[in-house]
A and B are shown apart, each in its own frame.
Chain A
Amino acid sequence: MVFKEIVKEKLIFVQKNFKENSDVIKFLSEELREKSFVKESFCDAVLEREKKYPTGLYLGKINVAIPHADIKYVNKPGMAVATLQKPISFRKMDDPTLSIPVHIVFLLALVDPNEYVKFLSSLTRSFSDESFISLIYSLDDTERFVESIKKVIK
């Protein structure tokens, strides 16, 4: 149930091209807003947070970012995902003075993270599985993307 609420095929975008990390965040935020997952102010809140506390996670070959914002900007839990044909630079969460090329962006819209911690833990746990990350990055089909994520969420 929790999983179905969060991962929706209509919020998965594969093999996209953007110029800057703010463009990805704006695009994914707009999708979340259009489908009434988040409030209008969500996008600015995410951009502002990303500036202060970046969310790039260095995994090695394929890197990810998990931008998010305070729960007050969210109506219902959702996650918009984009895989990037050309990686885009994000600053590192643990060392914002450094930038890394990011290949997959998971934009999280959370209402009560305690309820969704299982989902988030599974998702982030999957980050250590290089073959899984490489696989989802290579997919050009959103249905298979959702299926693949479903397999790793326990």
Chain B
Amino acid sequence: MLRKRILVVCGTGIATSTVVARKLEEKLKEEGIDIETRQCKVVEVESMLENVDLIVATTPVPDDIKVPVIRTLAFLTGIGEDEAIEEIVRGLRGR
């Protein structure tokens, strides 16, 4: 699988998205998936979609976005983390 690009979205594009991005890099490496993350604020999402394979968001994002969105707090709270990784891996392999 080629390197995948994940856009990590939170309210301000700083604190929570950074934690989620680092966690995703670590977890997906364990799954043997090469990813590149970018972070942004939820209001910037539409301008950040170029070459993005998947969006992982901690807040709701607009419904009309063309890229698949996984909304989860698992990488912040640790609750349901394995399930969220499975969902992300499925999402990335499906593309």
Chain A residues in contact with chain B, CB under 8 A? Answer: 49, 52-53, 55, 57-60, 66, 68-71, 93-96, 108, 110, 113-114, 117, 120-121, 124-125, 127-129
Choose, from B10-18, B29-37, B47-55, B85-93, the stretch at the interface. Answer: B10-18
Does the CB pair B11–A124 fall under 8 Å?
A: no
Known: A53-B59, A127-B78. A114 touches B10 (CB 8 A): no
Known: A57-B76, A93-B58. A70 touches B22 (CB 8 A): no
Beyond A66-B15, A120-B19, 16 additional contacts (C-beta under 8 Å) are A49-B12, A53-B10, A53-B11, A57-B73, A57-B77, A70-B12, A70-B14, A93-B16, A94-B60, A94-B72, A96-B59, A110-B15, A120-B15, A120-B18, A125-B78, A128-B79
Please, which residue of chain B has its CB at the minimum distance from the CB of A63? B77
A-contact bits for B34-71, CB 8 A (1 contact / 0 none) = 00000000100000000000000011100000000001
Known: A93-B59, A94-B71, A114-B18. A127 touches B76 (CB 8 A): yes
CA of A49 to CA of B60, assembled, Å: 14
Does the CB pair A124–B76 fall under 8 Å?
A: yes
Nearest Cβ distance between residue A57 and chain B, in whole angstroms? 5
Chain A residues with CB under 8 A of B73 = 57-58, 93-94
Chain B residues with CB under 8 A of A57 = 73, 76-77
Does the CB pair A71–B14 fall under 8 Å?
A: yes
Does the CB pair A52–B11 fall under 8 Å?
A: yes
CA of A66 to CA of B17, assembled, Å: 13
